[in-house]
Amino acid sequence: MPTHLSRARTLVAVLMTSAVVLAGCSAPSLSVLEWSGYDKVDFWTDFHTASPNTKVKFEFGSSDADILGKFEAGYGSTDIVHFYTGWQQFYVDEGLVQPIDTSKLKNWDKVPDSFKKMGQINGKQYFLPWDWGFTSILYNTDKVKTPITSWSALFDPAYAGHISMWDDGPGAVTVSAYIHGWDETKITPDQLATIEKEWTAQKPLNKTYWVSEFPDLCNGIASGDVWVAYDWQGCYAQTLYDGKVPVAYANPKEGRNSWVGLYGISSKTSNYELALQFLDDKLATLSCTNAVTQFYYGCANQDVMKAVTDPVLIKAFSLDDPAILQHTNFTPLVTSAQRTAWTEMWARVKAATP
């Protein structure tokens, strides 16, 4: 008898364990190819609250090219991808993403039309805009007495040894195109040769080329090593909050640059509805607010941006300047061949001895 009871208990225990394991296996899951830091629950908290049982698995890329490479390599296993303006065409041309059914998004009407257009290719809404920001020149006003009014400040020998440029070929081409007034999408080989020559000559003026905005550049600004830097507004806001180094964010006469982060859904996903819900919830108030207040990046939900009252964030996003977008250049689409040529040019600059 005791043996039978023991067997029965064991059987029940095995069945219950199996049920728990199976329940775990059948729990919905979503795979997101992201940038480091964006996996923080605060940035998708609305989805987490609405779907607490859904397991969200994050993989990371270190650049737009890296993300594209990883998305292609793991094609079919990743549901959602996050990248930045300039790369949309590749994803569509390669058939990697599918259109987004915006009629199912509750928060879509909170996104301005100008942002929606950034995610459209061939008249279809392939991408959902989420984070956005500016690129301009951040400078230490203790060391730089005259306000910076041009991108050419990055080439000014007066700041030798205290400049920090972003370690990125296409970024360098963009700056040069602004300074020379060239069309960024139609850079000729001769113009590219000029750009290479100028950035090679500029190389010794840099303290370092920065790769990661917060750990690399912000530390350089905070330590006083870097006076003039190519920067997104994140480090500007961070430095304002720290209050140790007086800084300003330039309004170059050539115009600032602006970028938008876009989410796409894999054309091979078997979790389309879940992916839609994830993206919709990314646009919800709390997730967007957290991106603005914790990362100092703008969010495509305009209600959230209108609700910003923090003076630092108002300065960082130039929310008090209604004309700011009129002198802002948005990152255009460029071809794969152009990107290849520009990154090779930048590698030559990095290897060169001026």
Residues that bind other proteins (CB under 8 A): 62-63, 65-66, 68-69, 72-73, 94, 161, 167-169, 203-204, 206-209, 211, 223-225, 336-337, 339-340, 343-344, 346-348, 350-353
Which position has the token pair 């190519």? 230
Q: Which is nearer to other proteins, 186 or 348 (by Cβ)? A: 348
Toward other proteins, which CB reaches closer, 35 or 317?
35
Cβ proximity to other proteins, 100 vs 345, nearer residue: 345
Query: CB 149 → other proteins: shortest distance, Å?
Result: 25
DSSP summary character for residue 130: E
Q: How far is the CB of 12 from other proteins (least distance, A)?
A: 42
* Axis crossing angle, helix 169-180 with helix 189-202, rounded to the nearest 10: 100
Total length of the chain: 354
105, 132 Cβ separation under 8 angstroms: no
Q: Which is nearer to other proteins, 188 or 340 (CB)?
A: 340
Cβ contact 283:111 at 8 Å: yes
Taking the C-alpha atoms of residue 152 and residue 179, their distance in angstroms, rounded to an integer, is 6
Nearer to other proteins, 209 or 236 (CB): 209
Compute the least distance from the CB of residue 31 to other proteins, in Å: 18
- DSSP bridge partners of 206: 163
Question: Nearest approach, Cβ of 165 to other proteins (angstroms)?
Answer: 9
Least distance (Å) from other proteins to the CB of residue 80? Answer: 18
Compute CA distances 118 → 84, 112, 128, 237, 333, whole Å.
10, 10, 9, 25, 10
